Amino acid sequence: MAVPAATRMTAFLAGASLAALAVCLDVFKSRGFVPYNADDPELFPLIAAYFFVTVIVFVVGIRNLFPAELKTRVRFVYFPTTRAGWAVMFNCWGRMLAWFLGAASVVALVASTRYIAQ
């Protein structure tokens, strides 16, 4: 099975989709389609599982969980000690920033449309 590669675009879309899921659940509850909101305790495990799966697969990347560039002499300790290790870390942090920007852009878009609609 092919594992998807984590890129800036997949990270952005993962953040945007999580925010869009929360917004859609909020809209559906206000319209009466579903009885739960995104912050209800009954729906929290679904939202948390979606968050963790998308972050591990599309932001951090399956291949970057234990990269060879971060391996140290101490077993099970991963830390950037070379230039390649720092490059792996900064690429992952950049994807995390892209994830946050994706979520923030959806929230800003929804907030602006709600402001205009009222």
Kindly report, residue by residue over 60-116, the tens digit of the pLDDT: 999 888 898 989 889 888 889 899 999 999 999 999 999 999 999 999 999 888 777
Cα 93 to Cα 15: distance, rounded to the nearest angstrom: 14
Cβ atoms of 95 and 59 closer than 8 Å? yes
User: With bands split at pLDDT 50, 70 and 90, how would you rate the model's confidence at 1?
Assistant: low
Cβ atoms of 64 and 92 closer than 8 Å? yes
pTM: 0.88
List the domain boundaries for the chain.
8-117
Tell me, what's the pLDDT at 64? 86
